[in-house]
């Protein structure tokens, strides 16, 4: 008896799943990818991708040596201090300031409760990290494309500096390193169980620096 009697069955299931995924990615008549039938005659194209990628490369080439700067002002935010239950039966306290308004949702994660009467140094001592979904890229705008600067992780732990704490307001700087510019064509329809087509995205990998000056307008803080 072979040591792994179920391997052929697993391989067969994997191949069947791959075939199903391929079928989902194709239109019913098989003449073109299925996703092209879902974008109302305004689909991503390789020509548009090359133009967006060229604009992104030009932005990188013209960047100052000390990196770029983006300002986020009056981002509507909320202060959260809550206890959540864990799978092992324990509990964990979560404290953060979360900016949900505007085009750049971000979160400042804290190690304990804070209030507007603290000094910047006191609040600084409780900063754990800053989470984001890609940094916006000032001065780089291409129609139909969302382009962002990527950090190695969505959580930045170093380079966070609290500048101001006041009633209803927290202002801080995040200076960090990036490894790539990523672009995505917003016309691309969401298709389940299919890879993003080459026409709809690009990534230019190169190291660079940048910073964000963030002002949170915090309700009830």
Tell me the average pLDDT of the chain: 84
Please name every residue paired with 91 in a beta bridge, in sequence order, or none if there are none.
85
- State the CB neighbour count (10 A cutoff) for residue 92: 9
Domain boundaries along the sequence of the chain? 41-219
Confidence check: pLDDT of 16 > 60:
no
Q: Which residue has the higher pLDDT, 109 or 4?
A: 109
Q: Which of 145, 142, 208, 139 is nearest to 180 (CA)?
A: 208
pLDDT in tens, 135-154: 999 999 999 999 999 999 99
pLDDT of residue 186: 92
Decide if pLDDT at 9 tops 70: no
Task: Annotate 57-80 with b (16+ C-beta within 10 A) or e (fewer).
Answer: eebbeeeeeeebebebeebebebe
pLDDT of residue 194: 76
Q: What is the distance between the alpha carbons of residues 39 and 52, in angstroms, rounded to a whole number? A: 19
Under the banding of pLDDT at 50, 70 and 90, the label for residue 168 is very high
**Is pLDDT of 3 > 50?**
no
Residue 158 burial by Cβ neighbours in a 10 Å radius (0-12, 13-18, 19+):
exposed
Mean pLDDT value of segment 181-207: 90
Out of 36-45, 142-151, 209-218, least confident range: 36-45
pLDDT interval class at 40 (50, 70, 90): confident
Of the chain, the percentage scoring pLDDT greater than 90 comes to 61
DSSP assignments along 119-149, one per residue: -HHHHHTTEEEEE-SSEE-TT--BTTEEEEE
pLDDT band at 74 (very low <50, low <70, confident <90, very high): low
Average pLDDT over residues 43-49: 92
Find all residues with CB under 8 Å of 19, minimum gap 6, and list them.
none
Phi, psi of 93 (to 5 degrees): -90, 130
Nearest to 64 by CA among 208, 214, 183: 208
Label residue 20 by pLDDT band (50, 70, 90).
very low
Query: How far apart, in Å, do the first and last CA atoms of the chain sit?
Result: 69
DSSP state of 198: G
């Amino acid at each position: 008896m072979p040591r792994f009697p179920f391997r052929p069955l697993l391989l067969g299931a994997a191949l069947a799943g791959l075939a199903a995924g391929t079928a989902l990615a194709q239109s019913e008549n098989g003449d073109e990818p299925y996703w092209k039938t879902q974008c109302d005659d305004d689909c991503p194209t390789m020509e548009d991708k090359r133009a967006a990628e060229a604009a992104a490369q030009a932005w990188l080439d013209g960047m100052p040596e000390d990196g770029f700067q983006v300002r986020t002002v009056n981002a509507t935010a909320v202060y959260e201090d809550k206890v959540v239950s864990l799978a092992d039966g324990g509990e964990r306290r979560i404290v953060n300031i979360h900016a949900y308004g505007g085009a750049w949702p971000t979160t400042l994660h804290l190690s304990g409760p804070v209030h507007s009467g603290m000094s910047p140094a006191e609040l600084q001592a409780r900063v754990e990290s800053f989470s984001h979904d890609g940094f916006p890229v000032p001065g780089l705008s291409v129609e139909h494309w969302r382009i962002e600067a990527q950090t190695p992780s969505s959580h930045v732990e170093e380079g966070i500096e609290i500048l101001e704490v006041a009633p209803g307001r927290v202002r801080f700087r995040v200076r960090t390193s990036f490894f790539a510019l990523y672009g995505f064509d917003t016309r691309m329809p969401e298709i389940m169980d299919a890879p993003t087509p080459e026409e709809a995205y690009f990534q230019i990998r190169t190291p660079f620096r940048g910073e964000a000056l963030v002002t949170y307008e915090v309700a009830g803080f």
